[in-house]
Amino acid sequence: MIVRALAALGLIGGFLAVVGVFLPWIPILNISGWDLASLASIFGEVATYVYLVLLGGVLALIGSIALLLGKRGVAYVLPFGGIITIAGWGWTFVTFGGPEAAAYGFYFCIFGGILALIGSIGLKS
């Protein structure tokens, strides 16, 4: 029962991280994380941090679904998804210089990464 609840938390976390990439990250211009990655590619840059957050969210989704289905071997990607999401979020935070420049989609991602890590506690039992 507890494992399923924790897996559900991980699933919600992965979902929040993935959805957060497509929600506004920069409030003044209403630019999402995905828009940020697209704009960076136009100027010849690569916004790796956005892709890290997205990858982490997808891994958290895969890991938590595997945990819900009882596939423990695949479920071990859940903590990696949370860690990768948080690392990508931190990289973005350092790049853009703090919370005053961030909108709610940016915080969906960190909250999703934290929930994915909490959900990975279900792997212990």
More confident residue, 2 or 20: 20
Percent of the chain exceeding pLDDT 70 equals 95
pTM: 0.89
| Per-residue pLDDT reduced to its tens digit, 70-98 | 888 888 898 999 999 999 888 888 877 76
Instruction: Return the bridge partners of 31, or none.
Output: 26
Show the CA angle centred on residue 29, arms to residues 28 and 30, nearest 5°. Answer: 95
- Kindly state the tokens that stand for 6: 């924790």
Q: How far apart are CA 68 and CA 45, in angstroms?
A: 38
Mean pLDDT, all residues of the chain: 87
pLDDT at position 113 is 94
Cβ burial of 22 (10 Å; 0-12, 13-18, 19+) is middle
pLDDT at position 100 is 67
Domain boundaries, the chain: 2-123
| Per-residue pLDDT reduced to its tens digit, 17-74 | 999 999 998 888 888 888 888 888 787 777 788 899 999 999 999 999 998 898 888 8
